Amino acid sequence: WQLHTGVTGRLILGNAMFDLEATAGQTTAFSATSDGFSLTTIQSLDSLFTRGFTPSIQHLIQPAGKGWGSDAGIALTKGERFVITAAVTDLGSMEWSGTTYDTEEVTFSPDLFGASDLAVESADWLDDAVNLLTADAWFSGGKDTVMLQTLVPTYALGGAFRPWAPFVLAGNVTGTNMEAFGDDGVNWGLTVGLQVLKSLYLESGIQQNRNEQRSVPVALRLVTKRGWEMGLRMGDVSALWQESQTAVSGQWCFMRWHVGVL
């Protein structure tokens, strides 16, 4: 048996955050948005190419929230036949610079739409829709606030069994707290992998997200000896035989390279 451990860290930048709480007749809201990702800034991107990059580029990419995240995990293996894993992901926090509003500052006016009957003018629908999603459309006043948001970690347990080289059976369960593993608050999945050809792998399984409908993902990967990979993945193919599931999604990887570290 061998024990493997791993820890990753990342810098997180946030574009926008909105939080609303209502208790005992009191309403408190917090809004933080980045001017760098506003519609006005996006529409003026052409100036960066006509006038070149200026100090205003710092304003363009300035985020509304900054934070850090970390994942940690262990894997217990016995050759290539058995794998048992445990992990904690999304440890960390975010710090948002925004504005806090209370009940006295909640406002809404039909004039926001440019018409008394709440109709949006067809010529200005995009601008009006964007304005509706800003804090100024709903609140007045407010005070500058820095809010600390703690990320919700996810706990995961998994395992895999390879009875013979081209075939592997794997499963996992995840939950946002340890109590969730004792009730219906967990996500789980079962996966079967098959090496069809020397460098071609086919994978499929069942994914259950709490009490929601189950999905059936399918993936096809081409792997070379030097670490290069490419593949195609369908997020859910159950729409092919279930009338209640009307969407089929797809993702693909043009090329990636894995580096093995001993």
Which pLDDT does position 107 carry in this prediction?
56
What phi, psi does 174 have (nearest 5°)? -135, 150
Give the pair of three-digit tokens for residue 223. Answer: 């792997």
Closest by CA to 92, choosing from 74, 117, 66, 110, is 66
Predicted model pTM: 0.64
Give the pair of three-digit tokens for residue 79. Answer: 């050759």
Q: In Å, what is the CA distance from 84 to each residue of 57, 69, 154, 161, 186? A: 47, 24, 17, 9, 18
Which pLDDT does position 147 carry in this prediction?
92
Can you tell me the distance from the alpha carbon of 136 to that of 33, in angstroms, rounded to the nearest whole number? 11
What is the number of helices (H) and of strands (E) in the chain?
A: 4, 13
Q: Are 194 and 181 in contact (CB under 8 A)?
A: no
- Local confidence pLDDT in tens for the 262 residues of the chain: 999 999 999 999 888 888 888 777 677 888 888 766 555 665 565 555 555 555 455 555 678 899 999 999 999 999 889 999 999 999 999 999 988 887 665 555 555 445 445 555 556 666 666 666 666 666 667 788 899 999 989 999 999 999 988 999 999 999 887 666 656 668 899 999 999 988 899 999 998 887 667 889 999 999 887 778 899 998 888 878 877 666 777 888 888 887 664 3
Instruction: For residue 49, give the 3-state DSSP assignment.
Output: helix
What phi, psi does 236 have (nearest 5°)? -165, 120
Can you tell me the distance from the alpha carbon of 262 to that of 257, in angstroms, rounded to the nearest whole number? 16
Q: Are 94 and 10 in contact (CB under 8 A)?
A: no
